[in-house]
Homo-oligomer: A and B are copies of this chain.
Amino acid sequence: MKAISEPRRRAILRLIWDDEMSAGQIADSFEVTFGAVSQHLKVLRDAGLVVVRKDGTKRYYRADRAGMGPLASYLESMWVSSLDTLAALAEEAQREEAQRDKAQREKEAEP
């Protein structure tokens, strides 16, 4: 959870979500030092959110969907049942509010 609360780490994850990239390529995508990115990769590694493939002196990183499992269930439990229902509840509440606003406007417009 702490691992994904940092914006840069989320950006890195998105970057290597589908295709693997070498640490150097990843670092080049950001305006921070190589070392900084390497540290972020270490955090993601320790959190089990990425997998590494060594090839010569290079290290290729990719997001590990399996590693996201525990995170997903945590988020689900945290936000009660499912985020889908949460979003639905939100929409419903929004509709109700719109209804209230509409009634309010009509009332004001009356006499």
Q: How many residues of A contact B (CB 8 A)?
A: 30
A80, B10: Cα distance in complex, Å: 12
- Of A25-33, A36-44, A89-97, A100-108, the one contacting chain B is A89-97
Q: Which of A31-83 contact B (CB under 8 A)?
A: 65-70, 72-73, 75-76, 78-80, 82-83
Set of chain B residues within 8 Å of A2, measured between Cβ atoms: 5
Once the chains are docked, how many angstroms separate the CA of A17 from the CA of B86? 12
A89 to B69, CA, bound (A): 8
B72 touches A68 (CB 8 A): no
> Chain B nearest CB: distance from A98 CB in Å?
11
A82 interface neighbour in B10, B70, B79, B84, Cβ under 8 Å: B84
Q: Does A109 contact B (CB under 8 A)?
A: no
Expressed in whole angstroms, the Cα–Cα distance for A90 and B74 within the complex equals 13
User: In the complex the two chains form, is B79's CB within 8 Å of A68's CB?
Assistant: yes
CB contact between A86 and one of B69, B94, B97 (< 8 Å): that residue: B69
